[in-house]
Amino acid sequence: MNFRLRRLVICLTGIALLVPAGAQSQSAPQAEVAAAKAATAKGLTAGEFFKNVTSSTLKGLTPSDFLGAMGVMTAAVGYDCSNCHPGAGTDKFDWVTDRIPQKKTARRMVEMVAAINKQNFSGAQQVTCWTCHHGLDLPTTSVALDKLYGEPNDEKRDIVATGQGVPPAAQILDQYIQAMGGAQKLSTLKSFIATGHSEGYAGLGGNAAFQIFAQAPDSRGMWINFPDHPDRGIGSWTYDGKAGWISQPRSLLGVWELTGSDLAGAKLDSVLAFPGQIKTAFPNWRVGQEDTLHDRAVYVVQGSGPGGLLGTFYFDKQSHLMLRYVRQTPSPVGRISIQQDFDDYRDVNGIKFPFKYSFLWLDGRFTATISDIKVNVPVQAAKFTKP
Protein backbone atom coordinates (compact mmCIF):
# COMPACT_ATOMS: atom_id res chain seq x y z
CA MET A 1 0.00 0.00 0.00
CA ASN A 2 1.51 3.36 -0.98
CA PHE A 3 1.73 6.25 1.43
CA ARG A 4 -1.29 8.03 -0.05
CA LEU A 5 -3.53 5.03 0.66
CA ARG A 6 -2.06 4.54 4.13
CA ARG A 7 -2.71 8.15 4.98
CA LEU A 8 -6.26 7.82 3.69
CA VAL A 9 -6.94 4.76 5.83
CA ILE A 10 -5.53 6.32 8.98
CA CYS A 11 -6.77 9.88 8.63
CA LEU A 12 -9.82 9.64 6.38
CA THR A 13 -11.75 12.35 8.18
CA GLY A 14 -8.77 14.51 9.04
CA ILE A 15 -9.78 14.38 12.70
CA ALA A 16 -8.08 11.28 14.10
CA LEU A 17 -4.83 12.97 15.01
CA LEU A 18 -4.31 13.71 18.70
CA VAL A 19 -5.81 12.72 22.01
CA PRO A 20 -7.80 15.38 23.91
CA ALA A 21 -6.21 16.80 27.04
CA GLY A 22 -7.51 14.98 30.07
CA ALA A 23 -7.87 11.65 28.25
CA GLN A 24 -5.33 8.84 28.40
CA SER A 25 -3.44 7.88 25.25
CA GLN A 26 -5.28 4.54 25.00
CA SER A 27 -8.59 5.46 26.62
CA ALA A 28 -11.92 4.14 25.36
CA PRO A 29 -13.47 5.97 22.39
CA GLN A 30 -16.52 6.85 24.49
CA ALA A 31 -14.38 8.84 26.90
CA GLU A 32 -12.69 10.67 24.05
CA VAL A 33 -16.01 11.57 22.45
CA ALA A 34 -17.24 12.95 25.77
CA ALA A 35 -14.06 14.99 26.15
CA ALA A 36 -14.39 16.34 22.62
CA LYS A 37 -17.99 17.43 23.16
CA ALA A 38 -17.09 19.18 26.41
CA ALA A 39 -14.08 20.90 24.92
CA THR A 40 -15.79 22.28 21.84
CA ALA A 41 -18.57 23.67 24.02
CA LYS A 42 -15.99 25.65 25.98
CA GLY A 43 -14.32 27.09 22.89
CA LEU A 44 -10.82 25.93 23.82
CA THR A 45 -7.73 26.49 21.71
CA ALA A 46 -5.77 23.57 20.27
CA GLY A 47 -3.12 24.07 22.96
CA GLU A 48 -5.77 23.76 25.66
CA PHE A 49 -7.73 20.95 24.05
CA PHE A 50 -4.95 18.59 22.95
CA LYS A 51 -2.04 17.28 24.98
CA ASN A 52 1.50 18.34 24.17
CA VAL A 53 0.83 20.97 21.49
CA THR A 54 3.85 23.19 22.13
CA SER A 55 4.27 25.10 18.85
CA SER A 56 3.55 28.79 19.40
CA THR A 57 2.40 28.98 15.78
CA LEU A 58 -0.20 26.23 16.12
CA LYS A 59 -1.39 26.10 19.72
CA GLY A 60 -3.57 29.21 19.42
CA LEU A 61 -5.65 27.74 16.57
CA THR A 62 -9.11 26.34 17.10
CA PRO A 63 -9.02 22.52 17.44
CA SER A 64 -10.72 22.19 14.06
CA ASP A 65 -8.22 24.45 12.29
CA PHE A 66 -5.33 22.72 14.05
CA LEU A 67 -6.40 19.38 12.61
CA GLY A 68 -6.62 20.94 9.17
CA ALA A 69 -3.04 22.15 9.57
CA MET A 70 -2.00 18.58 10.43
CA GLY A 71 -3.51 17.50 7.12
CA VAL A 72 -1.47 20.12 5.25
CA MET A 73 1.74 18.93 6.91
CA THR A 74 1.21 15.22 6.27
CA ALA A 75 0.32 15.87 2.63
CA ALA A 76 3.35 18.10 2.12
CA VAL A 77 5.89 15.53 3.34
CA GLY A 78 4.17 12.36 2.12
CA TYR A 79 3.49 11.03 5.61
CA ASP A 80 0.54 9.52 7.40
CA CYS A 81 -0.38 10.01 11.05
CA SER A 82 1.67 7.00 12.20
CA ASN A 83 4.96 8.58 11.11
CA CYS A 84 4.75 10.91 14.10
CA HIS A 85 2.14 9.19 16.29
CA PRO A 86 2.99 5.52 17.01
CA GLY A 87 0.13 3.09 16.47
CA ALA A 88 -2.15 5.60 14.74
CA GLY A 89 -4.98 3.72 13.06
CA THR A 90 -4.84 0.88 15.61
CA ASP A 91 -6.05 0.38 19.18
CA LYS A 92 -2.47 0.81 20.46
CA PHE A 93 -1.94 4.46 19.61
CA ASP A 94 0.14 7.03 21.47
CA TRP A 95 -0.59 10.54 20.24
CA VAL A 96 1.35 12.34 22.94
CA THR A 97 4.82 10.80 22.94
CA ASP A 98 7.84 12.87 21.91
CA ARG A 99 10.14 9.93 21.27
CA ILE A 100 9.61 10.17 17.49
CA PRO A 101 12.29 12.43 15.92
CA GLN A 102 9.97 13.44 13.07
CA LYS A 103 7.60 15.14 15.50
CA LYS A 104 10.39 17.24 16.98
CA THR A 105 11.62 18.15 13.51
CA ALA A 106 8.10 19.12 12.44
CA ARG A 107 7.80 21.54 15.34
CA ARG A 108 11.05 23.25 14.36
CA MET A 109 9.99 23.44 10.72
CA VAL A 110 6.65 25.03 11.61
CA GLU A 111 8.41 27.79 13.53
CA MET A 112 10.99 28.17 10.75
CA VAL A 113 8.27 28.67 8.12
CA ALA A 114 6.53 31.26 10.29
CA ALA A 115 9.82 33.12 10.83
CA ILE A 116 10.69 33.12 7.10
CA ASN A 117 7.35 34.67 6.19
CA LYS A 118 7.51 37.20 9.01
CA GLN A 119 11.08 38.30 8.39
CA ASN A 120 11.04 38.31 4.59
CA PHE A 121 7.45 38.86 3.45
CA SER A 122 5.96 41.08 6.16
CA GLY A 123 3.99 38.13 7.47
CA ALA A 124 2.35 37.28 4.13
CA GLN A 125 2.30 33.54 3.50
CA GLN A 126 4.76 33.03 0.64
CA VAL A 127 6.53 29.94 1.99
CA THR A 128 4.79 26.79 3.26
CA CYS A 129 5.70 23.14 3.87
CA TRP A 130 4.69 22.32 0.28
CA THR A 131 6.99 25.01 -1.15
CA CYS A 132 10.03 22.84 -0.50
CA HIS A 133 8.80 19.31 0.15
CA HIS A 134 6.28 18.56 -2.62
CA GLY A 135 5.35 15.21 -1.08
CA LEU A 136 8.89 14.22 -0.03
CA ASP A 137 10.06 13.92 3.57
CA LEU A 138 13.45 15.35 2.56
CA PRO A 139 13.38 18.17 -0.04
CA THR A 140 15.47 17.62 -3.15
CA THR A 141 18.34 20.05 -3.73
CA SER A 142 19.15 19.56 -7.41
CA VAL A 143 17.22 20.27 -10.60
CA ALA A 144 15.65 17.10 -12.06
CA LEU A 145 16.63 17.32 -15.72
CA ASP A 146 13.80 15.08 -16.90
CA LYS A 147 11.34 17.50 -15.34
CA LEU A 148 13.24 20.52 -16.63
CA TYR A 149 12.81 19.33 -20.22
CA GLY A 150 9.51 17.53 -19.67
CA GLU A 151 5.96 18.80 -19.48
CA PRO A 152 5.61 22.36 -18.15
CA ASN A 153 4.72 22.70 -14.48
CA ASP A 154 0.96 23.26 -14.44
CA GLU A 155 0.54 23.90 -10.71
CA LYS A 156 -1.74 26.86 -10.12
CA ARG A 157 -1.18 29.72 -7.72
CA ASP A 158 -3.75 30.01 -4.97
CA ILE A 159 -4.54 33.65 -5.73
CA VAL A 160 -5.85 34.03 -9.26
CA ALA A 161 -4.22 36.84 -11.24
CA THR A 162 -6.65 39.02 -13.18
CA GLY A 163 -6.94 37.82 -16.76
CA GLN A 164 -6.85 39.86 -19.94
CA GLY A 165 -9.71 39.95 -22.43
CA VAL A 166 -12.09 37.95 -20.23
CA PRO A 167 -15.69 38.82 -19.34
CA PRO A 168 -16.46 40.35 -15.93
CA ALA A 169 -17.26 37.99 -13.08
CA ALA A 170 -20.91 39.06 -12.93
CA GLN A 171 -21.44 38.08 -16.57
CA ILE A 172 -19.90 34.62 -16.12
CA LEU A 173 -21.92 33.99 -12.95
CA ASP A 174 -25.12 35.12 -14.68
CA GLN A 175 -24.40 32.70 -17.53
CA TYR A 176 -23.97 29.91 -14.98
CA ILE A 177 -27.27 30.78 -13.30
CA GLN A 178 -29.02 30.76 -16.67
CA ALA A 179 -27.45 27.42 -17.62
CA MET A 180 -28.64 25.88 -14.35
CA GLY A 181 -32.25 26.81 -15.07
CA GLY A 182 -32.47 30.58 -14.83
CA ALA A 183 -32.81 32.92 -11.88
CA GLN A 184 -36.60 32.64 -11.66
CA LYS A 185 -36.65 28.84 -11.69
CA LEU A 186 -33.73 28.59 -9.26
CA SER A 187 -35.53 30.90 -6.83
CA THR A 188 -38.21 28.21 -6.46
CA LEU A 189 -35.66 25.64 -5.25
CA LYS A 190 -36.12 25.45 -1.49
CA SER A 191 -34.76 21.98 -0.69
CA PHE A 192 -33.47 18.78 -2.22
CA ILE A 193 -32.39 15.26 -1.30
CA ALA A 194 -29.88 13.48 -3.55
CA THR A 195 -29.16 9.77 -3.03
CA GLY A 196 -26.69 7.41 -4.64
CA HIS A 197 -23.49 5.56 -3.90
CA SER A 198 -19.86 6.51 -3.41
CA GLU A 199 -16.85 4.57 -4.60
CA GLY A 200 -13.96 4.34 -2.17
CA TYR A 201 -11.07 2.07 -1.33
CA ALA A 202 -11.85 -1.51 -0.30
CA GLY A 203 -9.92 -1.01 2.93
CA LEU A 204 -12.43 1.65 3.90
CA GLY A 205 -15.45 -0.50 3.20
CA GLY A 206 -15.60 -0.13 -0.58
CA ASN A 207 -18.84 1.20 -2.03
CA ALA A 208 -21.09 3.17 0.28
CA ALA A 209 -24.61 4.56 0.32
CA PHE A 210 -24.52 8.31 -0.08
CA GLN A 211 -26.96 11.16 0.53
CA ILE A 212 -26.76 14.94 0.19
CA PHE A 213 -29.61 17.04 1.55
CA ALA A 214 -30.08 20.80 1.71
CA GLN A 215 -32.59 23.39 2.86
CA ALA A 216 -32.52 27.01 1.65
CA PRO A 217 -30.92 29.34 2.31
CA ASP A 218 -27.87 27.77 3.98
CA SER A 219 -28.40 24.36 5.58
CA ARG A 220 -26.67 21.34 4.07
CA GLY A 221 -25.70 17.83 5.08
CA MET A 222 -24.07 14.69 3.75
CA TRP A 223 -24.37 11.12 5.05
CA ILE A 224 -22.29 8.08 4.08
CA ASN A 225 -22.69 4.53 5.32
CA PHE A 226 -21.32 1.14 4.25
CA PRO A 227 -24.12 -1.45 3.82
CA ASP A 228 -21.61 -4.31 3.79
CA HIS A 229 -19.93 -2.99 6.95
CA PRO A 230 -22.68 -1.78 9.32
CA ASP A 231 -20.13 -1.70 12.14
CA ARG A 232 -18.65 1.42 10.52
CA GLY A 233 -21.78 3.39 11.37
CA ILE A 234 -22.91 6.53 9.53
CA GLY A 235 -20.42 9.24 8.67
CA SER A 236 -22.00 12.69 8.48
CA TRP A 237 -21.04 16.28 7.67
CA THR A 238 -23.76 18.78 8.57
CA TYR A 239 -24.33 22.53 8.83
CA ASP A 240 -27.56 24.06 10.11
CA GLY A 241 -26.98 27.70 9.19
CA LYS A 242 -25.04 28.47 12.37
CA ALA A 243 -23.13 25.40 13.57
CA GLY A 244 -21.47 22.52 11.77
CA TRP A 245 -20.54 19.00 12.79
CA ILE A 246 -18.61 15.96 11.59
CA SER A 247 -19.50 12.51 12.87
CA GLN A 248 -17.22 9.53 12.20
CA PRO A 249 -17.96 6.62 14.57
CA ARG A 250 -14.63 4.89 13.90
CA SER A 251 -12.49 7.98 14.34
CA LEU A 252 -10.72 9.03 17.53
CA LEU A 253 -13.15 11.78 18.48
CA GLY A 254 -16.36 10.33 17.08
CA VAL A 255 -18.24 13.65 16.84
CA TRP A 256 -16.52 16.93 16.08
CA GLU A 257 -17.88 20.49 16.04
CA LEU A 258 -16.59 22.68 13.23
CA THR A 259 -14.86 25.88 14.29
CA GLY A 260 -12.84 28.67 12.69
CA SER A 261 -12.08 28.26 9.00
CA ASP A 262 -13.81 24.87 8.84
CA LEU A 263 -17.05 26.48 9.96
CA ALA A 264 -16.72 29.27 7.38
CA GLY A 265 -16.10 26.67 4.69
CA ALA A 266 -19.18 24.68 5.68
CA LYS A 267 -21.32 27.81 5.46
CA LEU A 268 -19.94 28.56 1.99
CA ASP A 269 -20.70 25.03 0.77
CA SER A 270 -24.24 25.34 2.11
CA VAL A 271 -24.90 28.62 0.30
CA LEU A 272 -23.50 27.19 -2.94
CA ALA A 273 -25.85 24.20 -2.71
CA PHE A 274 -28.42 26.58 -4.20
CA PRO A 275 -26.95 27.86 -7.50
CA GLY A 276 -29.08 31.00 -7.61
CA GLN A 277 -27.21 32.29 -4.55
CA ILE A 278 -23.69 32.05 -5.96
CA LYS A 279 -23.25 35.81 -6.44
CA THR A 280 -23.89 36.34 -2.71
CA ALA A 281 -21.28 33.78 -1.65
CA PHE A 282 -18.39 36.27 -1.68
CA PRO A 283 -18.08 40.05 -1.40
CA ASN A 284 -15.17 40.15 -3.86
CA TRP A 285 -14.79 38.46 -7.25
CA ARG A 286 -12.10 38.37 -9.93
CA VAL A 287 -11.66 36.52 -13.22
CA GLY A 288 -8.39 34.83 -14.12
CA GLN A 289 -6.94 33.97 -17.48
CA GLU A 290 -8.84 31.41 -19.55
CA ASP A 291 -7.70 27.84 -18.91
CA THR A 292 -8.49 24.23 -19.82
CA LEU A 293 -9.89 21.49 -17.61
CA HIS A 294 -10.51 17.94 -18.84
CA ASP A 295 -9.79 19.21 -22.37
CA ARG A 296 -12.52 21.84 -22.06
CA ALA A 297 -11.98 25.58 -22.25
CA VAL A 298 -12.97 27.18 -18.95
CA TYR A 299 -13.38 30.55 -17.32
CA VAL A 300 -11.71 30.75 -13.90
CA VAL A 301 -13.58 32.89 -11.37
CA GLN A 302 -12.36 33.38 -7.81
CA GLY A 303 -14.21 34.78 -4.84
CA SER A 304 -12.54 35.96 -1.64
CA GLY A 305 -14.06 36.62 1.75
CA PRO A 306 -13.23 37.48 5.35
CA GLY A 307 -10.54 35.51 7.12
CA GLY A 308 -8.74 34.47 3.94
CA LEU A 309 -11.55 32.27 2.61
CA LEU A 310 -11.16 31.53 -1.12
CA GLY A 311 -13.44 29.83 -3.62
CA THR A 312 -12.18 29.15 -7.15
CA PHE A 313 -14.71 28.10 -9.78
CA TYR A 314 -14.12 26.63 -13.23
CA PHE A 315 -16.97 27.19 -15.71
CA ASP A 316 -17.22 25.48 -19.09
CA LYS A 317 -17.03 28.25 -21.72
CA GLN A 318 -19.50 26.45 -23.96
CA SER A 319 -22.14 25.10 -21.58
CA HIS A 320 -21.48 27.64 -18.77
CA LEU A 321 -21.86 24.81 -16.23
CA MET A 322 -19.53 24.52 -13.24
CA LEU A 323 -16.91 21.80 -13.71
CA ARG A 324 -14.86 22.36 -10.55
CA TYR A 325 -15.00 24.21 -7.26
CA VAL A 326 -11.95 24.53 -4.99
CA ARG A 327 -12.48 25.87 -1.49
CA GLN A 328 -9.41 27.04 0.44
CA THR A 329 -9.10 28.19 4.02
CA PRO A 330 -5.94 29.48 5.71
CA SER A 331 -3.60 27.75 8.13
CA PRO A 332 -0.12 28.76 9.36
CA VAL A 333 1.49 26.00 7.27
CA GLY A 334 -0.44 26.42 4.01
CA ARG A 335 -3.98 26.69 2.75
CA ILE A 336 -6.35 23.80 3.41
CA SER A 337 -7.86 22.76 0.08
CA ILE A 338 -11.03 20.82 -0.72
CA GLN A 339 -11.85 20.16 -4.38
CA GLN A 340 -15.14 19.08 -5.92
CA ASP A 341 -15.57 18.15 -9.59
CA PHE A 342 -19.00 17.94 -11.22
CA ASP A 343 -20.14 15.96 -14.24
CA ASP A 344 -23.17 14.32 -15.86
CA TYR A 345 -25.55 17.26 -15.46
CA ARG A 346 -29.23 16.34 -15.85
CA ASP A 347 -32.50 18.21 -15.76
CA VAL A 348 -34.65 17.74 -12.64
CA ASN A 349 -37.90 19.71 -12.76
CA GLY A 350 -36.29 22.38 -14.92
CA ILE A 351 -33.12 22.71 -12.83
CA LYS A 352 -29.73 21.22 -13.69
CA PHE A 353 -28.04 18.95 -11.14
CA PRO A 354 -24.71 17.13 -11.48
CA PHE A 355 -25.19 13.38 -11.06
CA LYS A 356 -21.49 12.70 -10.53
CA TYR A 357 -19.33 14.29 -7.84
CA SER A 358 -15.63 13.79 -7.21
CA PHE A 359 -14.37 14.89 -3.79
CA LEU A 360 -10.67 15.36 -3.05
CA TRP A 361 -9.19 16.69 0.16
CA LEU A 362 -5.88 16.44 1.97
CA ASP A 363 -6.68 13.17 3.70
CA GLY A 364 -8.63 11.26 1.07
CA ARG A 365 -10.91 11.16 -1.95
CA PHE A 366 -14.03 9.45 -3.26
CA THR A 367 -16.42 9.62 -6.19
CA ALA A 368 -20.19 9.79 -5.72
CA THR A 369 -22.74 8.81 -8.35
CA ILE A 370 -26.26 10.14 -7.81
CA SER A 371 -29.18 7.87 -8.71
CA ASP A 372 -32.10 10.04 -7.61
CA ILE A 373 -32.77 13.67 -6.73
CA LYS A 374 -35.99 14.95 -5.19
CA VAL A 375 -36.58 18.70 -5.05
CA ASN A 376 -38.73 20.80 -2.72
CA VAL A 377 -39.37 17.91 -0.36
CA PRO A 378 -39.46 18.14 3.43
CA VAL A 379 -36.08 17.75 5.13
CA GLN A 380 -36.18 17.23 8.87
CA ALA A 381 -34.38 20.05 10.68
CA ALA A 382 -32.78 17.48 12.99
CA LYS A 383 -30.76 16.10 10.07
CA PHE A 384 -28.68 19.30 10.00
CA THR A 385 -27.96 19.53 13.71
CA LYS A 386 -25.47 17.91 16.06
CA PRO A 387 -25.48 14.11 15.55
Report the pLDDT averaged over residues 171-187: 99
pLDDT at 62: 87
What is the pLDDT at residue 88?
Answer: 75
Region 358-363 average pLDDT: 87
**Picking from 30-34, 76-80, 370-374, which range would have the lowest pLDDT averaged per residue?**
30-34
**Least reliable range by pLDDT among 42-51, 134-143, 215-224, 240-249:** 42-51
So what's the pLDDT on residue 252? 59
Question: In sequence order, what DSSP letters do the residues of 144-171 get, joined into one string?
Answer: -HHHHTSSPP-PPPSSPPPPSS---HHH
**Which pLDDT value is given to residue 206?**
62
**Residue 91 reports pLDDT greater than 70:** no
Cα separation, 292 vs 288, in Å, equals: 12
pLDDT of residue 77: 93
Angle at CA of residue 270, ends 265 and 272, nearest 5°: 95
Looking at residue 274, its pLDDT comes to 98
Spatial distance between the Cα atoms of 215 and 231, rounded to a whole number of angstroms:
30
Lowest mean pLDDT among 70-74, 95-99, 107-111, 211-215: 95-99
pLDDT at 205 (0 to 100): 53
pLDDT over 70 at 200, yes or no = no
CA dist 15 and 227 (Å) reads: 23
- The pairing of beta strand 219-225 with beta strand 291-293: unpaired
SS3 per residue for 45-68: CHHHHECCCCCCCCCCCCHHHHHH
Residue range 344-359, pLDDT digits in tens: 999 999 999 999 999 8
Mean pLDDT for all residues in the chain: 86
* Relative orientation angle of helices 260-272 and 63-77, to the nearest 10 degrees: 90
Alpha-carbon separation of residue 19 from 24, 43, 96, 199, 325 (angstroms): 7, 17, 7, 30, 33
DSSP secondary structure code for residue 94 in this structure: -
In percent, how much of the chain has pLDDT > 90?
A: 61
pTM, entire model = 0.86
Task: Give the rounded percent of residues in the chain with a pLDDT score beyond 70.
Answer: 86
Residue 197 pLDDT grade (very low, low, confident, very high; cuts 50, 70, 90): very high
Closest by Cα among 330, 362, 326 to 73: 362
Q: Where in the chain is the domain with CATH 2.50.20.10?
A: 169-384
For strand 336-348 and strand 322-329, is the pairing parallel, antiparallel, or unpaired? antiparallel
Q: How much is the pLDDT for 347?
A: 98
How much is the pLDDT for 89?
Answer: 67
Is the pLDDT score of 87 beyond 90?
A: no
Of 16-20, 37-41, 283-287, 360-364, minimum mean pLDDT range:
16-20
CATH fold group of domain 169-384: outer membrane lipoprotein receptor (LolB), chain A (2.50.20)
